[in-house]
Amino acid sequence: MIQGKESKPPPIFKAAIPQAPHLTGRGACSDCHVPAIIAGEGDLKICPRCYAVLWRRDYMAEERRKRLEAAKLAAEAAAFRHREKEAQEKLDREVKLQQETKE
């Protein structure tokens, strides 16, 4: 050990887990490049060579759609609460004005 320099153990590299085959934009398997066949009443796409169940790479589209829909509903609910609050304030002002005119 010279002036604080210590030998470090070599880094350990782990083999990366390969991605599952997915459906390319052309409708083919990403591994085999063979056009997919439709199975399961049109719900599934299967590679005829490697028998992989293919999925669209954009698998988060459904989640994004749900989040967008929830945000839209939340905005509509907030707008409704705001209109309701304004209507209540207007009603309170009218009631207060009527009470002042009676006195």
Mean pLDDT computed over every residue of the chain: 85
pTM: 0.41
Please, are residues 47 and 32 in contact by the beta-carbon 8 Å criterion?
Answer: yes
CA–CA gap between residue 70 and residue 39 (Å, rounded):
32
- Residue with the larger pLDDT of the pair 59 and 14: 14
pLDDT digits (tens, 9 = 90+) for 41-64: 878 899 999 999 988 766 577 788
- 3-state SS, 10-75, equals CCCCCCCCCCCCCECCCCEECCCCCECEEECCCCEEECCCCCCEECECCCCHHHHHHHHHHHHHHH
38 forms beta bridges with 45
Residue-level pLDDT at 4: 62
Residue-level pLDDT at 57: 64
Residue 84 has pLDDT above 70, yes or no: yes
